[in-house]
């Protein structure tokens, strides 16, 4: 059983890693190379897809039993997770407009550092001293790389750091929601509730900050219908990324996830 569990976890990590790279590259292509400069709308498309696929998987296909939200406190925790998740993804997408993918990923390597800090602040959980020591060269390396990066952009760097910190905070809070006995939700139900809340946060931001994005997207589709297929495929892949991310966190821990994926 232990061997099977180990291979299952490795498979989840591989699935998350490959799909995450796919979404990252496609986001970079759309936001930078293709010229579709609407990161908030793109993130909202991701969350709409997550809402629809989660509902189909649970309500229609009965992949897992439907779990209900048990308390107001649990509702606010999921809302906070949704908001933090929106910040991490939107900021990450914005940073791709200013930084190359390689440098973006290098900054993302500091996620374990932020995860360890937030895990201690929120759960008072201390890792082994060796774990903390391994974070020092990672953070130092990113600082050195930032100074020598020819494509360095200060605003993009700050936004990417903020996205990394938000991603770490989301992982810690996500781990709490998935493991707390009184408020335990399986990964698919958590995504089912989280995604529509994220759409609720993103919709007004899109309307205010990215005006007429729907009309612009329709106009682009008339000239090049491939933009629709890009958005549909990207959104479906984003659902798979989030699902496997939750599953890996459930079967390991927030800090382990960030160490493996950084």
Residue 59 per-residue DSSP state: I
How is residue 238 written in tokens? 């984003």
**146 confidence band (pLDDT: 50, 70, 90):** low
What are 74-92's pLDDT values in tens digits? 888 889 889 998 999 899 8
pTM, to two decimals: 0.77
The Cα 180–Cα 19 span in angstroms is 28
Q: Are 242 and 171 in contact (CB under 8 A)?
A: no
């Amino acid at each position: 059983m232990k061997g099977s569990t180990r291979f299952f976890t490795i498979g989840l990590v591989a699935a998350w890693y490959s799909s995450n790279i796919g979404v990252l590259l496609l986001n970079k292509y759309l936001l930078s190379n293709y010229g579709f400069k609407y990161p908030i709308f793109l993130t909202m498309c991701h969350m709409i897809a997550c809402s629809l696929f989660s509902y189909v998987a649970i309500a229609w296909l009965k992949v897992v039993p439907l779990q209900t939200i048990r308390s107001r406190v649990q509702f606010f925790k999921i809302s906070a997770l949704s908001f933090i998740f929106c910040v991490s993804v939107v900021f990450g997408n914005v940073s791709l407009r200013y930084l190359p993918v390689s440098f973006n990923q290098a900054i993302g390597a500091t996620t374990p550092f932020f995860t360890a800090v937030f895990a201690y602040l929120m759960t008072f959980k201390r890792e082994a001293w060796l774990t903390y020591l391994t974070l020092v060269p990672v953070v130092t390396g990113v600082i050195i790389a930032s100074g020598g990066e020819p494509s360095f952009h200060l605003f993009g760097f700050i936004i990417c750091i903020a996205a990394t910190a938000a991603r770490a905070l989301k992982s810690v809070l996500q781990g709490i929601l998935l493991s707390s006995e009184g408020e335990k939700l399986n990964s698919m139900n958590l995504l089912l509730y989280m995604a529509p809340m994220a759409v609720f946060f993103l919709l007004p931001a899109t309307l205010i900050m990215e005006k007429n994005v729907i009309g612009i997207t329709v106009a682009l589709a008339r000239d090049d219908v491939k933009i629709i297929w890009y958005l549909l495929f990207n959104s479906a892949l984003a659902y798979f990324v989030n699902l496997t991310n939750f599953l890996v966190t459930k079967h390991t821990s927030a800090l382990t996830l960030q160490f493996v994926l950084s």
